[in-house]
Amino acid sequence: MTTSAEEFDTIRIENVGRRFGGTTALQGFDLTVQRGEFIALLGPSGCGKSTALNCLAGLLPLTDGSIHVGDQRVDVLPPEKRDFGMVFQSYALFPHLTVEKNVAFGLQMRGVSRSETARRVAEALRLVRLEDQAKKLPGQLSGGQQQRVAIARAVVIEPRVVLMDEPLSNLDAKLRLEMRTEIRRLHQTLGLTTVYVTHDQEEALSLADRLVVLRAGRVQQIGTPQELHDNPANWHVADFMGYRNLLEATVSADADGQGRVRIRADDLELVGTAVNPTAAGETVRLAVRPTDLVVQTSQSAAASPVNTIAADVEIVEYQGRDYAVEVRTTGGRTLHVRSDHAPEVGTKVLLTVDPSRALVYQEDLDTATT
Ligand code: ATP
């Protein structure tokens, strides 16, 4: 059987684990990355993202599992034999070498000829739009430019995979957005298989083909941005995906045939959709995105009696295209709402939420992999 180019470059991460003494930083990590795919590893600080990336890069030996690229087992190889490009948060450029020499370094180490090196360095600098900065030292460049040099240095070796560890987190907000677009453009142009670590869900959603959400060293969910955004597998993922309204509640009636379940949270009696099996009397978490809480006008309220919540408007913040609103329910709970119009602070409003967008999760379920 012949191996296609796709299979040749598929990365298979199987049951990878890493312990530091008594701390389990990563456990049972399974993932297959297709050629050209952009994967984001996402999760809060300490969840094991960098450990996973460093295991892939070969900077950390595994304590369990294996990593293959195509039919080659790579976790037994030293980093330089894996043919992976790395981009770090700190740029990690050689301060005494010019931009072009920094980019050329990896090619020289691999014994590429002078003329070929010059051609490929020029091409890589053109790709990251730094052709006119080639003779400068890193210290003479802005943070964004330095990170572009680091990216050029990683891609110039034509690696099988590019690994990026929070590459934008040292940049200010505006530059971060610009560089995000730059990374997307580069990925589209070069089609390089990329594994990208971030704790910024917006960054991950906007860049990646698939996201891997980690928590306490365990994969919680793997899926496309849309899948994770719309259907988080557990409430920890929901929390991370911007479901800012996470209410502890009690199931007051079992789910019907459509998975609709009635729950009570203080004064609120709502119908939601059970993501995991739940039973009456059980403590659950209700997760609702701010954009799924709709501020009713006096006319529309009468038409939608299901899942209506009465609340007082406490804070209204203009966000450019819409408003971030904080309300307090009669039972004293704060809810976060996004609204395209601004309700007046101090007034009473009625909110509604569609039962399909009121997600009900088991309280203790924290490792649901899809
Ligand atoms: P951050 O976003 O803060 O960088 P992370 O998700 O990348 O966090 P890791 O750096 O992978 O998390 O760390 C995962 C866990 O392993 C943490 O509990 C951390 O304290 C622990 N850990 C990581 N490196 C070491 C080390 N060299 N020695 C001991 N414990 C470590």
CB 89 within 8 A of CB 53: no
Residues 77 and 189 in one domain: yes
Give Cβ neighbours of residue 115 (< 8 Å, ≥ 6 apart): none
Task: Indicate the pTM of the whole model.
Answer: 0.88
If DSSP codes are grouped into helix, strand and coil, which group holds residue 184? helix
198 lines ligand 1 (CB under 6 A): no
Provide the pLDDT for residue 278. 85
Give Cβ neighbours of residue 153 (< 8 Å, ≥ 6 apart): 85, 93, 102, 103, 105, 106, 124
Residues 73 and 153 in one domain: yes
369 in a domain, yes or no?
A: no
If DSSP codes are grouped into helix, strand and coil, which group holds residue 338? strand
Residues 161 and 120 in one domain: yes
pLDDT tens digits for range 11-36: 999 999 999 999 999 999 999 999 99
Residues 226 and 183 in one domain: yes
Whole-number Å distance between alpha carbons of 336 and 345? 14
100 in a domain, yes or no?
A: yes
235 in a domain, yes or no?
A: no
pLDDT tens digits for range 190-211: 899 999 999 999 999 999 999 9
The residue whose CA is least distant from atom 3 of ligand 1 is 45
**Each residue's pLDDT expressed in tens, for the chain with a length of 370 residues:** 444 555 668 999 999 999 999 999 999 999 999 999 999 999 999 999 999 999 999 999 999 999 999 999 999 999 988 889 888 887 788 999 999 999 999 899 888 899 999 999 999 999 888 999 999 999 999 888 898 899 999 989 889 899 999 988 888 888 888 889 989 988 998 899 999 999 999 999 999 999 999 999 999 999 999 999 999 999 999 998 999 999 999 999 877 878 899 999 888 899 999 998 888 899 999 999 999 999 986 655 555 567 899 999 999 999 999 999 999 998 899 999 999 999 999 999 999 999 999 999 998 755 444 3
Provide the pLDDT for residue 266. 83
Whole-number Å distance between alpha carbons of 246 and 340? 22
20 lines ligand 1 (CB under 6 A): yes
Residues 248 and 217 in one domain: no
Which regions of 88-232 does DSSP assign to beta strands (E)?
161-165, 194-198, 210-215, 218-223
How far is ligand 1, taken at its centre, from the CA of residue 163, in Å?
A: 17
Range of the domain at 14: 5-230
How far is ligand 1, taken at its centre, from the CA of residue 317, in Å?
A: 36
48 lines ligand 1 (CB under 6 A): yes
Instruction: Supply the ipTM of this predicted assembly.
Output: 0.96
Provide the pLDDT for residue 267. 82
**Total number of domains constituting the chain:** 2
23 lines ligand 1 (CB under 6 A): yes
Question: What number does the ligand 1 atom closest to the CA of 18 have?
Answer: 16
Residues 155 and 209 in one domain: yes
The residue whose CA is least distant from atom 26 of ligand 1 is 20
Whole-number Å distance between alpha carbons of 170 and 96? 21
Question: What number does the ligand 1 atom closest to the CA of 54 have?
Answer: 11
Provide the pLDDT for residue 299. 56
Residues 225 and 271 in one domain: no
Question: What number does the ligand 1 atom closest to the CA of 21 have?
Answer: 29
368 in a domain, yes or no?
A: no
Domain boundary among 230, 262, 282: 230
90 in a domain, yes or no?
A: yes
The CATH number for 222's domain is: 3.40.50.300
Residues 196 and 253 in one domain: no
Strands 323-329 and 334-339: antiparallel
74 in a domain, yes or no?
A: yes
Q: Which of 190, 201, 348, 330 is nearest to 266 (CA)?
A: 330
Residues 128 and 261 in one domain: no
Domain boundary among 206, 230, 254: 230
77 in a domain, yes or no?
A: yes
The CATH number for 295's domain is: 2.40.50.140
Residues 136 and 252 in one domain: no
Encoded amino acid at 202, one letter: E
Domain boundary among 183, 201, 230: 230
Provide the pLDDT for residue 303. 52
How far separated are the first and last CA of the chain, in Å rounded?
Answer: 30
46 lines ligand 1 (CB under 6 A): yes
Average per-residue pLDDT for the chain: 90
Residues 289 and 189 in one domain: no
The 3-state secondary structure of 235-280 reads HHHHHHCCCCEEEEEEEEECCCCCCEEEEEECCEEEEEEECCCCCC
Residues 254 and 165 in one domain: no
236 in a domain, yes or no?
A: no
